[in-house]
Amino acid sequence: MDRNTLNARTQKIQAEIPKLTNTLYALDLTDSKDYPQNYEELSTDAALRAEHIACSLRNLIYAANLVPKPVLMKKAAAIQGITITQTSNMVMITLPGLMPKKYRHSNPSFVTEPLYQCLSDYADGHELLHFHECVVCFSHQYDRNLSSRRVRDYDNLECKQILDTAAAFLMKDDTGLLCDVYHCTRLGTEDCTVLTVMEKNCFPDWLKSHQYSLDEVSDFS
């Protein structure tokens, strides 16, 4: 990449930083109890702007051939807290809390690219389960110390791209003929999303062991 192009891309990213700073400043001045709607919109805007900046910086690094993509994505996965664990009949993936898909700054590659690399690295050292038919469970956990207004409708979350990424490694196909999708919301100590893929006959026992009474709301599709 020539110097002029590199500078132009860097300046474009720099122009986004004051916007993020201004949003954070407004957020700091907004009372979440008195103006919950404003606080929600500002916090979401700040998070999505930060994701947009991160993805733009990644693309700059790729284009300039500064760091190999697998190396950068492995570090991004570690920073985001993406982990993979496997038992004899299911695979569990811990992800950051998923953001709404309806906002213009939303960029699913912020999560899907590190997730893809994490799955690829895990597959290099482990024999990953591969499901012909399965149930996929999205457990959306929210920090119970923050406003319950933060809880999103399931159809507003960026789940499809996450499922597509996981399916490439774990499933024959994520068509509805072979894959059932279940969502639940629970309160916990931090925001995160846990994606669990399992054989269909394992789902009843999994569901029974993951009942959280009033802390959980579920949806099965």
Instruction: Name the residue among 9, 97, 91 with its Cα closest to residue 48.
Output: 97
Total Cβ atoms within 10 A of residue 201: 10
In sequence order, which residues have a C-beta less than 8 Å from that of residue 140 and are 6 or more positions away?
A: 97, 98, 151, 152, 154, 157, 183, 184, 185, 186, 193
Query: Which tokens in the block code for residue 160?
Result: 């499809």
CATH 3.30.1330.70 fits 68-220, yes or no: yes
- Which range (122-126, 129-133, 153-157, 198-202) has the least confidence? 153-157
Q: 126 burial class (0-12, 13-18, 19+ CB within 10 angstroms)? A: exposed
Q: Are 51 and 76 in contact (CB under 8 A)?
A: no
pLDDT tens-digit map of 152-162: 777 766 788 99
Cα torsion at 129, 74, 20, 187 (round to 10°)?
40
How high does pLDDT run on average in the chain? 87
- Calculate mean pLDDT across residues 59-73: 88
pLDDT tens-digit map of 164-200: 999 999 999 988 889 999 999 888 888 999 999 999 9
pLDDT at 213: 40
- In three-state form (DSSP H/G/I as H, E/B as E, the rest C), the secondary structure along the chain is CCHHHHHHHHHHHHHHHHHHHHHHHHHHHCCCCCCHHHHHHHHHHHHHHHHHHHHHHHHHHHHCCCCCHHHHHHHHHHHHCCEEEECCCEEEEEECCCCECCCCCCCCHHHHHHHHHHHHHHHHHCCCCCECCEEEEEEEEEECCCCHHHCCCHHHECCHHHHHHHHHHHECCCCCCCEEEEEEEEEECCCEEEEEEECHHHHHHHHHHCCCHHHEEEEEC
Cα torsion at 30, 150, 118, 88 (round to 10°)?
150
pLDDT at 215: 47
pLDDT at 106: 60
Query: Which tokens in the block code for residue 175?
Result: 């068509």
Any idea where the domains of the chain sit in the sequence? Answer: 1-66, 68-220
- Calculate mean pLDDT across residues 31-47: 86
